């Protein structure tokens, strides 16, 4: 823990006017709200891409058999309905 930083911050907070202290408290509370928000509300585009790729890779299995063209053809999926 950075005790010097905490001590300096405490001194600054003590020197604030009541209005400044209220604004400071509002800012601190808004930081807490940001931390509590879910990933999908706060993630950047790059974070979404990274998370999606990690998710996709986690489902890849080296031992999974490949499906044949017949297995994924429209006729085999829908039969007489398609």
Report DSSP state, residue 16.
S
pLDDT for res 46? 96
Report DSSP state, residue 37.
S
Let me know: does 43 contact 51? Beta carbons within 8 Å: yes
Q: For 19, how many CA atoms within 13 A lie in the half-sphere containing its CB?
A: 0
- Global pTM value: 0.38
Give the structural domain span for 20: 3-81
Query: How far is Cα 13 from Cα 17, in angstroms, rounded to an integer?
Result: 9
Q: How many domains does the chain have?
A: 1
Let me know: does 82 contact 74? Beta carbons within 8 Å: yes
Which residues in the chain show pLDDT less than 70? 32-35, 82
């Amino acid at each position: 823990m950075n005790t010097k930083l905490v001590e300096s911050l405490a001194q600054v907070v003590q020197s604030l006017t009541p209005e400044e202290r209220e604004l400071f408290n509002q800012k601190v509370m808004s930081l807490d709200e940001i931390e509590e928000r879910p990933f999908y509300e706060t993630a950047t585009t790059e974070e979404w891409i990274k998370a999606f790729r990690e998710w996709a890779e986690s489902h890849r299995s080296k031992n999974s058999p490949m499906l044949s063209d017949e297995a994924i053809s429209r006729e085999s999926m829908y039969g007489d309905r398609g």
